[in-house]
Amino acid sequence: MATRQGGERLQKIIAAAGVTSRRKAEELIREGRVTVNGRTVTELGAKADPEGDAIRVDGRRIRAEGAKRVYLLLNKPRLVMSTVDDPQGRTKVTDLVPAHRHLFPVGRLDYNTEGLILLTNDGAFANAVASAGRRLPKVYHVKVRATPDAPTLARLRDGIRLDGEKLAPCKVEPLKEAANSWYEVTLVQGRNRQIRSMFDAVGHPVQKLRRVRIGFLTDKGLPVGRYRSLTQAEVERILREG
């Protein structure tokens, strides 16, 4: 399909309609899962008219005006997928918020990790969180096998090298020393399975992992498996800090 001269970029339209984040929308376009007026679009520069064109993602037409914006903070249990679909039929984070439709998670927590994750239908909000970095650090409590010695902890704090990439420095503070000790880890980058990979690399595999804070948002008063809506002030603060 030829790129329109007018209109808006497709990934922006898809994100504004609450389908997914702009970054994920770009992936959907590249994968050939987006059509405009019946034609598959794979060019990221493609534009469309959200009012006049029939834009579909995986065969479903998106709503030009978008839905009411929803912002949830969920304390994800273990053995729950942080995706909107799962071929194996496992429980997903969206299954835990049945009163809210068409939401998507902002970032991911792996299947065996519990803790805080944001869900929304606002692509701009998701982009702000994803790009915030040091302005919205993620804090985790992690139980590892045995107890790393001081030089090992220093290596982790400095940012170890994984798969040829040097990770950003992070905070690693002891919480409870035992046969298998607990630590509080603060990250400012979002590499997939980063904490598990870090501790695996230094010989102390993770036994338990939970995310307890996203920026200024904490799990205080939010039991595992429960969720709450963000306040307007919290949403505005995240958009400012992102």
- 109: exposed, middle or buried (Cβ count in 10 Å: 0-12, 13-18, 19+): buried
β-bridge pairing 206-214 and 114-120: parallel
Bridge partners (DSSP) of residue 102 are none
Active-site residue flag, 49: no
Q: Which of these is catalytic: 58, 95, 110, 158? A: 110
Q: Is the dihedral of CA 16, 18, 22, 27 positive or negative?
A: negative
Instruction: Read off the tokens for 206.
Output: 């993770």
Q: Are 135 and 31 in contact (CB under 8 A)?
A: no
Q: What is the CA radius of gyration of the chain?
A: 20
Catalytic residues: 110
